[in-house]
Structure 1
């Protein structure tokens, strides 16, 4: 393999690793927020990712995960009709996705752009992000997502979260070459190393686990 080919493979691996970190948090947090089983989300996301990579012949370094678009309807569905009915509705949503995918393959993405132009999709994404902001703030202050449990001291958690945030922002704006493509991965690594140095990382679960 040529040097350029090797570099490209490492580049794809690092970008894929960043996508994994980004998607994993969303994948676990979404079922926790909605009352569903995170294990089911993990299994289906892994299966879906393998299927996606097989269909696209590994052309896109993407890890499929949960979508926050469905947080409100899933939460309402679980409270109103229970988990089984909500899972059935999600299955129907998946069928609609497959139909839309077939339409895009047949007619191209033009009709989707006309149906949902940026002036529509932009505010929707903003509303989703703003609705999840309290959860992110609680995590940054060392609390659980709903703010009911204080998991780490406020000052320690805030220091780790700010190191992660500033590292991400600096790499995104000042980074060059490969690093400019990996701001979130750099932020995760900086935050983890800071938490490790402050004694906030607990390895007891790993040391007590069996190899298989």
Structure 2
């Protein structure tokens, strides 16, 4: 029982990390936020069941599908077609998982060198920098700085009990400060419903929605691969070997399939929660599963979710700076540990293109940067010239 109560705050940290992005997608597309939370929780539990609890990551709403979901849900008012599109995405995941199982991931992995992996891991964090700084922290820098400083202090100089929950400490301190500043609005809590059930949907298939959404699965798979590389760096264990990348694909596809049936968006592994793992160094899958259960409860009880939603944006902005920065630093560490020679002109070009494409492209930049890096690496000759 004591271990249970110790795990609760660790799980809550993961909920705070994923909450903003998970509910932002339904907000932008017209889907129900409660259904999205329930879908993320159920999807994460299913993912963990398929990967046998060996991949400690959280699944939340994917941003890659915002455009087609907004079209079919928001403009055409056809959530049944949107659900059909997500089912087709799950089918693509299943087909690629079968292909990876047949070929063997080791054969695929040989085509992904460290000079591509390291910068891609960094880009996953850097591509979120604008969101953390411009869209969140810059709203009220003082609240963001208080939250960030509290989280850093708890992580470095706090007592042992606080060093495992630095993000929660930062959020609580930032929330108290923001409340004193008059930045917290509690009115939405009073008007929120007590109980909120998911919006179950029966998919309606059309050729147009399948063509619009199914190919995007290939983009999110590349992002999944990048996230697994991040997870490998954080935990020191290669999850692409055990339980295997095919299991990750099966899990993500199954989560997206179930999400479609309850009126949620596509599911994907979350970089935000990988940042939590990097900071806390608590890799137990039970903690992530606890966060999934909390997400389901939040989706069912509207007032609880509304209370969390009162956390001011700049408070989460300060926390996000730390989260995303840790991910970016993990990529640099990978380059150093793999002894990538950046005095080699070809390696320098590969890394440079990945950074600029990944950070500069607003949508799906990580996937495009990965593809660009791989193409350049395998097409350019290695003349072993040093940069001038």
CA RMSD of aligned residues (A): 3.7
- State how far apart, in whole Å, the 2-side matches of 1:113 and 1:176 are: 41
- State how far apart, in whole Å, the 2-side matches of 1:126 and 1:36 are: 32
In the TM superposition, what is the alpha-carbon distance from 1:192 to its structure 2 partner?
Answer: 1.0
The 10-residue stretch of structure 1 (106-115 or 47-56) with the greater mean CA deviation from structure 2: 106-115
Alignment of 1:124-135 (within 5 A): 124-135=120-131
Shift in CA distance, 60/191, structure 1 to aligned 2, threshold 3 Å: farther
- State how far apart, in whole Å, the 1-side matches of 2:184 and 2:53 are: 34
- Do the aligned partners of 1:173 and 1:180 also contact (CA within 8 Å) in 2? yes
2:167 aligns to what?
184
- State how far apart, in whole Å, the 2-side matches of 1:66 and 1:112 are: 27
Q: Does residue 31 of structure 2 align to residue 37 of structure 1?
A: yes
Select 1:161's aligned residue among 144, 151, 155. 144
2:135 aligns to what?
138
In the TM superposition, what is the alpha-carbon distance from 1:112 to its structure 2 partner?
Answer: 6.4
Shift in CA distance, 60/36, structure 1 to aligned 2, threshold 3 Å: same
Q: Give the number of equivalent residue pairs.
A: 187
Q: Does residue 30 of structure 2 align to residue 47 of structure 1?
A: no
Q: Does residue 107 of structure 2 align to residue 120 of structure 1?
A: no
In the TM superposition, what is the alpha-carbon distance from 1:51 to its structure 2 partner?
Answer: 3.1
2:15 aligns to what?
20
- State how far apart, in whole Å, the 1-side matches of 2:123 and 2:86 are: 21
In the TM superposition, what is the alpha-carbon distance from 1:21 to its structure 2 partner?
Answer: 0.9
Alignment of 1:95-106 (within 5 A): 95-98=91-94
In the TM superposition, what is the alpha-carbon distance from 1:66 to its structure 2 partner?
Answer: 2.5
- State how far apart, in whole Å, the 2-side matches of 1:104 and 1:7 are: 42
- State how far apart, in whole Å, the 1-side matches of 2:67 and 2:42 are: 27
Deviations 1:40-79 (A, max 9, x none): 43232132134346667888876431245x3xxx355568
In the TM superposition, what is the alpha-carbon distance from 1:31 to its structure 2 partner?
Answer: 4.5
1:200 aligns to what?
183
- Structure-1-length-normalised TM-score: 0.64
The 10-residue stretch of structure 1 (173-182 or 96-105) with the greater mean CA deviation from structure 2: 96-105
- State how far apart, in whole Å, the 2-side matches of 1:104 and 1:194 are: 50
Mark the runs of 5 or more structure 2 residues left unpaired by the alignment: 196-388
- State how far apart, in whole Å, the 1-side matches of 2:93 and 2:40 are: 15
The 10-residue stretch of structure 1 (91-100 or 15-24) with the greater mean CA deviation from structure 2: 91-100
Shift in CA distance, 112/75, structure 1 to aligned 2, threshold 3 Å: same
SS across alignment from 1:171: helix
Mark the runs of 5 or more structure 1 residues left unpaired by the alignment: 1-5, 143-156
- Do the aligned partners of 2:25 and 2:66 also contact (CA within 8 Å) in 1? no
- State how far apart, in whole Å, the 2-side matches of 1:12 and 1:107 are: 39
The 10-residue stretch of structure 1 (198-207 or 24-33) with the greater mean CA deviation from structure 2: 24-33
- Do the aligned partners of 2:40 and 2:59 also contact (CA within 8 Å) in 1? yes
SS across alignment from 1:16: helix
2:259 aligns to what?
none
The 10-residue stretch of structure 1 (133-142 or 10-19) with the greater mean CA deviation from structure 2: 133-142
Select 1:170's aligned residue among 153, 157, 180. 153
- Do the aligned partners of 2:143 and 2:178 also contact (CA within 8 Å) in 1? yes
The 10-residue stretch of structure 1 (13-22 or 83-92) with the greater mean CA deviation from structure 2: 83-92
SS across alignment from 1:65: strand
2:287 aligns to what?
none
- State how far apart, in whole Å, the 2-side matches of 1:109 and 1:132 are: 28
- State how far apart, in whole Å, the 2-side matches of 1:206 and 1:188 are: 18
